Amino acid sequence: MTERSVDPMSEVLVLNGPNLGRLGSREPDVYGSTTFEDVAALCRDAARRLGLHAEVRQTDDEAELVGWLHEAADGHIPVVLNPAAFTHYSYALRDAIAQRTAPLIEVHISNPAAREEFRHTSVVAAVASGTIAGFGTFSYVLALQAVAELLAES
């Protein structure tokens, strides 16, 4: 990973939806054995190398996730978002993302298009800056790289 020259105070929220707190024990054949704590450390380390400060959060509560997206919009804070199951049906989440004022990258550990048919549709993709999926936990690193690039361009 290349070091970036981004404002050292640049904060990014790495927001995670339902069941991601159970990584490591949840469907290891799909999500691997990496724990959520491992993902959080990976994100903080990758962000630091990119000149960013990552605050990593996880919730199983749709309303809390919507509130965090409002916080990001109000603060012009970029977001890396793994909406998890909310990806496929949460119009509340979609509407919160539509209010974004900074880059927002949708991220998935697995490739939803290669899984069950109900996972093939993302209601949030159309209002995100972009989507990265299918690269395991490295998807988060790629998403943080995308955020850094988008911030450097602006």
pLDDT in tens, 27-65: 667 666 788 999 999 999 999 999 999 999 999 999 999
* Total count of domains within the chain: 1
> What share of residues in the chain are helix, strand, coil (percent, to 5)?
45, 15, 35
Token pair recorded at residue 89:
């049906």
Q: Is residue 1 part of a domain?
A: no
The reply, when asked if residue 109 is annotated as ligand binding, is: yes
In the predicted model, what is the mean pLDDT of residues 90-104? 97
Residue 70 lies in a domain: yes
119 is in an annotated binding site: yes
Please check if 82 is assigned to a binding site.
Answer: yes
Known catalytic residues are 31, 108
Helix axes of 138-153 and 36-49: crossing angle, nearest 10 degrees: 30
- Please tell me the predicted confidence (pLDDT) of residue 9: 53
Question: What is the pTM for the complete model shown?
Answer: 0.88
CATH code at position 111: 3.40.50.9100
Percent of the chain with pLDDT over 70: 88
| Domain span including residue 71 | 11-153
Structural domain contains residue 2 = no
